[in-house]
Amino acid sequence: MFLLKYPMQYTSFCLKIICCWPISKNASNLRKNFDFLHFLFVISGFILISIQALVYAIIQANNPQEIIETLSTQVIYLHAAGKVGIMRLHRHKFSRLLHGVERVQTTASGELLRYHKEYTRVGYVAYWIYTISVFIITLDYIVQPLWKKSQFLPTGAWYPFDYKKSTFFYTLAYFQQIICITFSGCASTTEITFGVFIFFACARLKVLQRKFQQLSDNSNGNEKILRRRICNYVQQHCDILRYINDVNETYTFIILVLFLSILLTVCCTSFLIINVTEHSLDSIFINSLLMVASAVQLLFYYLPGHILIEEAKTIAESVYYSGWESLSINCRKLLLQIMVYSASPINLRNGKMGLLILENYTTFLTTAASYLTSLRSIVGTV
C-alpha cells in the first residue's frame, strides 16, 4: 500500500496491544476467549487508574495546581478507555472498512491508486511527526521517575498503601502506571485509520469526477451505452456514500470523546505552562508538546473530513459540466439524481453534532482559549 505500508503495520501493532484489532471470525474459541480477557484487562486498567486519579484530585482539593496536573493526565486515560470501548463495539465494521481498502489497493486501477497516494502524501509526514511526539511524551512519563532520588510516580494517583515506604508497593504502583501510559500511547497513535478511510473515499470521488467529465467519450452517441454507463456511476456514488456513512458510524463518538478530552487537556496544559513559575525545562517542553500533539490529534479528524466534504461537493459540478444538455431525458434524470445526492453535506460529524470542517476546528481553539481564561480566573480566586 505504497506510503501506507509502514504506518499501517505500526498502527495494527498498537491496536493489537489495546485489543482493538479485529480477529478472524474463524478463530478458535480459545483465541476468542483470550481476546475477550485481554479487552477486560485493558479497559479495567483504564477505569481503575481514572478512579485513582479522581480520588487523588479530591484529596488534593486545597492545591489547584495539583488538581489541574492530575486532570490533564486523567482525561487521557478516559479518552483511551472510551476509544477502546467504541472501537471494540464497532470492530466488525472497522474490519470491513479495513479489508475493503486493502482489497481495492491490490485490484484497483492505477488512477485510483495515484489519487490515493496524492492525498496521503502530506498526511504521511504529519502522521510520523505526531507519532514521534507521542512516543517522546510516553517515554518521558515512563523514564522520568527513574531519575528521581525519591520514589516518584509518573502521574498523580491514590493508592490504599504508602508506596513511598515500600519498594514492593512502589514497584507495583509504578508498573501499573507505565502499563496504562503505554496503552494510552497506543490508543493515541491510531488516528491514521480514519485518514486512510477518508482519503480512500476522496480518491474514489475524484475518479468518479473524471468519469463524468469523460461521460460522452467512446459512446458514439449510443443511448443504451450512455444509460448503462450513467446507471453504473449512480451505483458507484451510492456505494461511496454508504462507505462514508460506515466510517461516520464507526468514528463519530470516538471523535466526540476525543473532542471533550482534548479540550480539557489543552486548557490544563496551557494553564500549567502560563501560570506555574517553578518549572524545569523538561516539564515545560513535555507540557508544550502534549498541548500541541493533542491539538494536532484532533486536526487529524477535522482536516480529512473537511477535504472529503469539499470533494463531495464537486461531484455536482462535474455532472453539470458533463454535457448533459445533449443527452436524452432519461439520462438527464439519472444525472439529476446524483446532483440531488451531492447537494446535501457529507454526514461526517463530531458525535452527530457539528460537521468535521476546519471552521468548527477553529471554533474548538477559540473555545479552549476562553475556557483557559475562565480557569485562570477561578484558580486566581481560590
Q: Do residues 235 and 35 make contact, with C-beta atoms less than 8 angstroms apart?
A: no
- The alpha helices in the chain, defined as continuous H runs, are 5-17, 29-59, 64-89, 91-107, 110-143, 167-187, 192-213, 223-275, 281-320, 329-343, 358-380
Render pLDDT for 121-144 as a digit per residue (tens, 0 to 9): 767 777 777 788 788 878 888 887
What Cα–Cα distance (Å) separates residue 192 from each residue in 2, 103, 124?
Answer: 15, 18, 9
The set of residues, in sequence order, having a beta carbon less than 8 Å from that of 328 and lying 6+ positions away, is: 223, 226, 227
Q: How many Cβ atoms are within 10 Å of 88's Cβ, its own excluded?
A: 18
What are 291's three cell numbers?
A: 498541548
Q: Taking phi first (over 0 means left), then psi (-120 to 50 degrees means alpha), and beta for anything else, what does residue 221 get? A: left
Q: Do residues 76 and 265 make contact, with C-beta atoms less than 8 angstroms apart?
A: yes
First to last CA, the chain: 55
Distance CA(128)–CA(120), nearest Å, equals 12
Buried-state track 345-363, b at ≥16 Cβ within 10 A, e below 16: ebbbbbeeebbbbeebbee
Residue 343 half-sphere exposure, CB side, CA atoms within 13 Å?
7
What are 73's three cell numbers?
A: 493526565
Distance CA(127)–CA(15), nearest Å, equals 16
State the pLDDT at residue 381.
47
Residue 68 burial (10 A CB sphere; 0-12, 13-18, 19+): buried
Distance CA(254)–CA(85), nearest Å, equals 9
3-class state of residue 350 by DSSP: strand
- Angle at 175 (CA atoms; ends 174, 178), nearest 5 degrees: 85
State the pLDDT at residue 65.
67
What are 68's three cell numbers?
A: 489541574
- Angle at 90 (CA atoms; ends 85, 93), nearest 5 degrees: 160
3-class state of residue 62 by DSSP: coil
Residue 255 burial (10 A CB sphere; 0-12, 13-18, 19+): buried
- Report residues of the chain scoring pLDDT below 70: 1-5, 61, 64-66, 104-109, 122, 149, 216-222, 273, 275-283, 324-325, 345, 352, 372, 375-382
Residue 3 is classified by DSSP as G
3-class state of residue 346 by DSSP: coil
Render pLDDT for 338-382 as a digit per residue (tens, 0 to 9): 777 777 767 778 876 778 888 888 887 787 777 767 766 666 544
Owner of C-alpha cell 479518552: 79
Distance CA(358)–CA(306), nearest Å, equals 6
Residue 314 half-sphere exposure, CB side, CA atoms within 13 Å?
17
